Structure 1
Amino acid sequence: MVRTRRIAAAIAAAALLPAAAALFTSSQATAQTSDEIQDEIDAQHSELEKVIEDYNAKQEELEDANQLIADIQAQLPALEAAGLAAQDRMAQIAATAYAGGDFAMVNSVLAGDPSDFADRLMYLSTLSEADSVTLQDSLTQIEELETRQAELVALQESADEILAEIEAQQDEIEDEIDALEAEYDDVVREEYQEEWGDYTGDSAVVAFAYDQLGDDYVYGADGPDTWDCSGLTQGAWGAAGVSLSHNTEMQWNETARISRSELQPGDLVFYNGLSHVAIYIGDGQIIHAPNSTTVVKIADLDIMGIDGYGRP
Structure 2
Amino acid sequence: MRTRRIAAAIAAAALLPATAALFTSSQASAQTSDEIQAEIDERNESLEKVIEEYNAKREELDDANELIAEIEAQLPVLETEAAAANEALADYAASAYTGGDMQMVNSVLAGDPSDFADRLMYLENLSASESAALQANVAEVQELQTRKTELETLKASADDILEEIEQQQEDIEAEIADLEEDYEDTYAEEHPGPEYDYEGSSAAVAFAVDQLGEPYEYGEAGPDSWDCSGLTQKAWAAAGVSLSHNAAMQWDETARISRDELQEGDLVFYNDLAHVGMYIGGGEIIHAPNSTTVVKIVDMDYSGSIVGYGRP
Same-fold call, TM > 0.5?
yes
Q: For the structure 1 residues 57 and 97, does the alpha-carbon distance in structure 2 shift closer, same or farther, using more than 3 Å as the test?
A: same
Q: Deviations over 1:162-181 (max 9, x none)?
A: 33322221111111111112
Alignment coverage as a number of residue pairs: 201
Which sits farther off after the overlay, 95-104 or 149-158?
A: 149-158
Give, in angstroms, the shift of residue 114 of structure 1.
Answer: 4.6
Q: For the structure 1 residues 89 and 58, does the alpha-carbon distance in structure 2 shift closer, same or farther, using more than 3 Å as the test?
A: same
> In the alignment, which residue of structure 2 is the partner of 1:164?
163
Answer yes or no: is 1:25 the counterpart of 2:21. Answer: yes
> In the alignment, which residue of structure 1 is the partner of 2:84?
85
Residues 1-312 of structure 1: pairs in structure 2 closer than 5 A? 2-17=1-16, 19-21=17-19, 24-28=20-24, 29-30=27-28, 32-114=31-113, 116-117=115-116, 119-123=118-122, 126-192=125-191, 194-195=192-193, 216=213, 293=295
Question: Helix, strand or coil: the match of 1:157?
Answer: helix
Q: For the structure 1 residues 110 and 135, does the alpha-carbon distance in structure 2 shift closer, same or farther, using more than 3 Å as the test?
A: farther
What is the CA–CA distance in structure 2 between the aligned matches of 1:190 and 1:216, rounded to whole Å? Answer: 17
1:7–1:64 CA contact under 8 A, matched in 2: yes
Q: For the structure 1 residues 117 and 37, does the alpha-carbon distance in structure 2 shift closer, same or farther, using more than 3 Å as the test?
A: farther
1:124–1:136 CA contact under 8 A, matched in 2: no
Q: What is the CA RMSD across the aligned residues, in angstroms? A: 3.0
Structure showing greater relative contact order (alpha-carbon pairs closer than 8 Å, 6 or more residues apart): 2
Q: Deviations over 1:242-301 (max 9, x none)?
A: xxxxxxxxxxxxxxxxxxxxxxxxxxxxxxxxxxxxxxxxxxxxxxxxxx7459xxxxxx
Q: For the structure 1 residues 114 and 91, does the alpha-carbon distance in structure 2 shift closer, same or farther, using more than 3 Å as the test?
A: closer
Which amino acid letter does the alignment assign opposite residue 86 of structure 2? Answer: Q
> In the alignment, which residue of structure 2 is the partner of 1:304?
none
What is the CA–CA distance in structure 1 between the aligned matches of 2:95 and 2:130, rounded to whole Å? Answer: 10
What is the CA–CA distance in structure 1 between the aligned matches of 2:140 and 2:162, rounded to whole Å? Answer: 33
Question: Helix, strand or coil: the match of 1:44?
Answer: helix
Question: Helix, strand or coil: the match of 1:126?
Answer: coil
Give, in angstroms, the shift of residue 74 of structure 1.
Answer: 0.6
1:20–1:51 CA contact under 8 A, matched in 2: no
Runs of 5+ in structure 2 lacking a partner? 195-211, 217-223, 225-293, 298-312
Runs of 5+ in structure 1 lacking a partner? 197-214, 220-227, 229-291, 296-312
Q: For the structure 1 residues 122 and 76, does the alpha-carbon distance in structure 2 shift closer, same or farther, using more than 3 Å as the test?
A: same
What is the CA–CA distance in structure 1 between the aligned matches of 2:52 and 2:125, rounded to whole Å? Answer: 57
> In the alignment, which residue of structure 2 is the partner of 1:247?
none
Q: For the structure 1 residues 218 and 151, does the alpha-carbon distance in structure 2 shift closer, same or farther, using more than 3 Å as the test?
A: closer
Q: For the structure 1 residues 184 and 163, does the alpha-carbon distance in structure 2 shift closer, same or farther, using more than 3 Å as the test?
A: same
1:4–1:152 CA contact under 8 A, matched in 2: no
Give, in angstroms, the shift of residue 110 of structure 1.
Answer: 4.2
Give, in angstroms, the shift of residue 83 of structure 1.
Answer: 1.2
Q: Give TM-score scaled by structure 2 length.
A: 0.55
Give, in angstroms, the shift of residue 3 of structure 1.
Answer: 1.1
1:58–1:159 CA contact under 8 A, matched in 2: no
Identity of aligned residues (%): 58
Which sits farther off after the overlay, 154-163 or 79-88?
A: 154-163
Q: For the structure 1 residues 68 and 161, does the alpha-carbon distance in structure 2 shift closer, same or farther, using more than 3 Å as the test?
A: same
Q: For the structure 1 residues 130 and 115, does the alpha-carbon distance in structure 2 shift closer, same or farther, using more than 3 Å as the test?
A: closer
Question: Helix, strand or coil: the match of 1:20?
Answer: coil
> In the alignment, which residue of structure 2 is the partner of 1:279?
none
For the pair shown, the structure with the greater C-alpha radius of gyration is: 1
> In the alignment, which residue of structure 1 is the partner of 2:261?
none
Which amino acid letter does the alignment assign opposite residue 42 of structure 1? Answer: D
